[in-house]
Amino acid sequence: MTVGVDSRGLGRSGQQGSAPGNTVTVNETLSLDPGENVIEVVAYNAKGVIASLPAVVKVIREGGQSVARPRLHVVTVGVNEYWDGRLQLKYAVADAKAVGDALRKAGEPLYEAVDVTTLQDEDVTVAKLDNLFAELGKKVRSRDVFVFFLAGHGKTVDGRYYFLPQDFRYDGEDSIVSRGVGQDRWQEWLARIPARKSILLYDTCESGSLTGPRTAERGLERVAALDRLTRAMGRTVLTASTDDAPAPEGYRGHGVFTYALLDAFGRADANRDGLIYVTQLAGYVVREVPELSFQAFKKHQVAEMKIVGSDFPLAHQRTVLSDAEAASTAIPAKPTHVVIAPVEVRQTADSAAPVVMQLSQGQQVVLIESANGWMLIAREGRKLGYVEEKAKALIRLQ
């Protein structure tokens, strides 16, 4: 996890004006956990795309584990009313408020305290975001949990992600790089947050109306941008960057990504321990977003996740969507198949996807669909995940 950034140029050893063995001393105050702490320093080239191997030092802090419960710090940001009229959105502000409320309700039993801050519309500027992260850096502790949710317009340029603040003014693609909030700024801000456990949620639609369609390029660029963003910050990132059409229309009063996220608080507890873990939340959103978007708009919106560090419980299971917001299409409760051999259930239809649970012989499930060698299954009205057909672990009930 990135906990400090220094942008001073070092120069190449032996370069003109730089003596061999030239060094730079970097001072950074770090909060150490009990036990072994691994500290790394990495140097990047000027463009921030090539990294050195890390220099590593291990520091052991003596003493027992802290018994105090962590606090949950939540920041949600949403922009509907952009200065540029071409960028207006309908649901970003409502989504930001809904996610903050959901985490407050679902998190209260788990944490010492839940602190939620929401910025909307005219408050979403670079200066105000900078002030907010500076204040958070003073009160967030290393043992706390930090969640950041962002809804508005984003843009990917040359494999790098940029968020467009409310006062953004477009005058060519260069303005996206110069006036958007890019990876370097996010890295600087988030480095101020010492919380070891954190998750970043980006529900930003591509502002294609500004620069024209480049669908194929955008898809590849978004994947590269997510990889770079995750590596730069060392935190779990879950994102669903879309073209223009689905986000403004929304799904049951929310963006598709946010709807799936809110629904997950009530449905993602696959092992039924009453807790929603980060991997369960992410896996549920990744499964549901393509299905919901195709159901509503006949177009697959694809969510991406990059999990960093160990899994942890984010909140208690709690239904936060109202009856009016909840999906009307119910999963049949009556089982269709029985398990005849132990089998692993995965988050997505991919043999490399994380395992969410293991079914044992005799358990009964509902087969929702079967495609490309995978079966999507459910139980008691809740989707569980995917089972590989070649495992031959399920047979139809007579």
pLDDT at 47: 74
Are 95 and 211 contained in the same domain? yes
pLDDT at 173: 78
pLDDT at 22: 66
Domain boundary among 253, 284, 316: 316
Are 115 and 215 contained in the same domain? yes
Indicate whether 15 belongs to any domain: yes
Please check whether residue 140 is in contact with residue 81, taking contact to mean a CB–CB distance below 8 angstroms: no
Are 121 and 34 contained in the same domain? no
pLDDT at 66: 59
Q: At what angle do helices 183-190 and 126-139 cross, to 10 degrees?
A: 30
Are 201 and 230 contained in the same domain? yes
Indicate whether 324 belongs to any domain: no
Phi, psi of 266 (to 5 degrees): -100, -15
Distances (CA, A) of 251 to 15, 84, 101, 242, 368: 57, 24, 19, 14, 22
Indicate whether 263 belongs to any domain: yes
* Integer Cα distance of 187 and 4 in angstroms: 9
Residue from 187, 169, 203 nearest 93 by CA: 203
Query: How many CA atoms, within 13 angstroms, populate the side-chain half-sphere of residue 31?
Result: 17
Are 80 and 39 contained in the same domain? no
Listed in sequence order, the DSSP H helices in 147-255 are 173-179, 183-190, 208-211, 215-233, 246-249
The CA R_g of the chain, rounded to the nearest whole Å, is 23
* Integer Cα distance of 373 and 389 in angstroms: 5
Are 308 and 344 contained in the same domain? no
Domain boundary among 14, 38, 65: 65
Q: Characterize the bridge pairing of strands 394-396 and 355-359.
A: unpaired
Tell me the pLDDT tens digit for each residue of 93-127.
Answer: 999 999 999 999 999 889 999 999 999 999 999 99
pLDDT at 100: 96
Indicate whether 108 belongs to any domain: yes
* Integer Cα distance of 155 and 303 in angstroms: 16
Residue spans of beta strands (DSSP E) within the chain: 35-41, 55-61, 72-78, 114-120, 145-157, 160-163, 197-206, 236-239, 275-277, 304-306, 313-316, 337-339, 343-346, 355-359, 364-371, 374-379, 382-388, 394-396
Are 274 and 164 contained in the same domain? yes
pLDDT at 13: 55
Are 34 and 135 contained in the same domain? no
Indicate whether 327 belongs to any domain: no
Are 291 and 239 contained in the same domain? yes
Number of CB atoms found within 10 A of residue 352's CB: 6
Domain boundary among 65, 84, 100: 65
Indicate whether 166 belongs to any domain: yes
Cα pseudo-dihedral 5, 45, 201, 356, rounded to 10: -110
Are 311 and 342 contained in the same domain? no
pLDDT at 232: 66
* Integer Cα distance of 5 and 3 in angstroms: 7
Question: Which two tokens mark 302?
Answer: 């694809």
Q: Which residues pair with 46 in a beta bridge?
A: none
Q: At what angle do helices 256-267 and 278-297 cross, to 10 degrees?
A: 130
Tell me the pLDDT tens digit for each residue of 46-82.
Answer: 777 778 888 899 999 887 665 678 999 999 999 999 9
Q: CATH number of the domain that 276 lies in?
A: 3.40.50.1460
User: Which DSSP helix (H) or strand (E) runs through 297?
Assistant: helix 278-297
Domain range for 14 is 1-65
Distances (CA, A) of 223 to 32, 44, 123, 160, 218: 33, 21, 29, 10, 9
Q: CATH number of the domain that 379 lies in?
A: 2.30.30.40
* Integer Cα distance of 315 and 307 in angstroms: 17
What three-state secondary structure class fits 76?
Answer: strand
Indicate whether 192 belongs to any domain: yes
User: Which residue ranges of the chain lie beneath pLDDT 70?
Assistant: 8-22, 64-67, 206-233, 241-249, 323-330
Please check whether residue 329 is in contact with residue 285, taking contact to mean a CB–CB distance below 8 angstroms: no
**For the chain, how many structural domains are there in total?**
3
Give residue 242's identity as a one-letter amino acid code.
Answer: T
Within 8 A by CB and 6+ apart from 93, the residues are 78, 79, 80, 120, 121, 151
* Integer Cα distance of 190 and 269 in angstroms: 29
CA 241 to chain centre: 11
Indicate whether 27 belongs to any domain: yes
Are 128 and 267 contained in the same domain? yes
The pTM of the whole model exceeds 0.85: no
Question: Which two tokens mark 40?
Answer: 């790394």
Are 23 and 100 contained in the same domain? no
* Integer Cα distance of 117 and 159 in angstroms: 30
